[in-house]
């Protein structure tokens, strides 16, 4: 088992047992943190909901707007007028956390990103994310865009429960777009045997964040780490923490 790496002094973490709905371990799980690209899990939640409601389908073609094309890195270098399907955008977010794909989905679901943010916050309230405030669809740092490890666990659980078919997409390790193969930068997903998926995140303000779902036999866990100081420490800490409870 890897040693539990040291994150920053202010990191937050939580391990949740899905089967009995118990928190197995937590540190600062209710402290406000910057979510970075963990925000995109809500972007995907609302997209999955729109697909389930028949407002979109996987093959719906989305036209790249100027706002989408001008998103900061990390993105897919889309140009105005390019076409992206809903499924491509979903996989691009899961595998590579493309910011332009997040905004194109926001525009498809909410007409524009600002209206989409309203939907994000309404859904957060509905799901009981009591200490989460969304300000954009990508996770770019905004001083008012904050969350907690506990709230991110609840969002992960909601995706698992409400969209079981789409949840399996989070296990995707690579996808093809415009003839190029993109590989996941979620090393816990690719390297840890029991990981099922979820989402990475990083900004300078947030540090390194990671939501992970893992299952071994009957053991079913959700683990959140926010504000780790280095990507290697975050991944080692996550794997060590999961091993701690999956190997019991």
User: In sequence order, what are the residues at sequence separation of 6 or more whose Cβ sits closer than 8 angstroms to the Cβ of residue 230?
Assistant: 5, 208
Per-residue confidence (pLDDT) for residue 75, from 0 to 100: 82
Q: 40-52 and 86-96 are packed helices; what angle lies between their axes, rounded to 10 degrees? A: 150
Predicted pLDDT of residue 5: 62
What is the reported pLDDT for 122? 98
3-state secondary structure of 202: strand
Name the catalytic one among 37, 184, 206, 227: 37
Task: Mark whether 37 is an active-site residue.
Answer: yes
pLDDT score of 81: 95
Q: What pLDDT shows up at residue 4?
A: 58
Instruction: Identify whether 133 is a catalytic site residue.
Output: no
* CATH homologous superfamily of 12-246: DD-peptidase/beta-lactamase superfamily (3.40.710.10)
Rounded to a whole number of angstroms, the distance between the first and last alpha carbons of the chain is: 12
Report the chain (248 residues): mean pLDDT per 10 consecutive residues. 64 97 97 98 98 96 94 84 97 96 97 97 98 97 97 98 97 95 96 97 95 97 96 94 91
Question: Active-site residue among 40, 96, 154, 160?
Answer: 40
- Options 65, 97, 184, 227, the catalytic residue: 97
Q: What is the pLDDT of residue 165?
A: 96
Which are the contacts of 12, defined by CB distance < 8 A and separation ≥ 6?
Answer: 27, 28, 29, 31, 33, 148, 149, 224, 225, 226, 227
Domain boundaries, the chain: 12-246
Nearest alpha carbon to residue 92 among 224, 218, 199: 199
Catalytic residue list contains 97: yes
pLDDT of residue 218: 95
Q: From CA 175, how far away is CA 186, in angstroms rounded? A: 13
């Amino acid at each position: 088992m890897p040693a539990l790496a040291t994150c920053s002094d202010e990191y937050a973490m939580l391990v949740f047992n899905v089967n009995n709905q118990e928190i197995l371990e937590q540190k600062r799980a209710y402290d406000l943190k910057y979510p970075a690209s963990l925000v995109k899990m809500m972007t995907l939640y609302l997209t999955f909901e729109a697909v389930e409601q028949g407002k979109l389908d996987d093959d719906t073609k989305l036209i790249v707007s100027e706002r989408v094309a001008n998103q900061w890195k990390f993105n897919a270098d889309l140009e105005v007028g390019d076409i992206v399907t809903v499924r491509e955008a979903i996989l691009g977010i899961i595998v590579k956390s493309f910011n332009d794909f997040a905004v194109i989905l926001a525009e498809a679901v909410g007409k524009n990103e600002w209206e989409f943010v309203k939907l994000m916050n309404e859904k957060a309230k509905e799901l009981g994310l009591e200490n989460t405030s969304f300000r954009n669809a990508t996770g770019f740092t905004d001083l008012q865009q904050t969350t907690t490890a506990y709230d991110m666990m609840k969002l992960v659980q909601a995706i698992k429960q409400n969209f079981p078919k789409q949840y399996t997409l989070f296990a995707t390790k690579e996808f093809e777009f415009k003839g190029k193969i993109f590989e996941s930068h979620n090393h816990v997903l690719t390297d840890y045997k029991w990981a099922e998926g979820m989402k990475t995140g990083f900004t300078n303000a947030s540090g390194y964040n990671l939501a992970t779902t893992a299952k071994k036999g009957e053991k079913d866990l959700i683990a959140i780490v926010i504000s780790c100081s280095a990507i290697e420490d975050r991944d080692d800490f996550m794997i060590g923490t999961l091993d701690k409870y999956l190997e019991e």
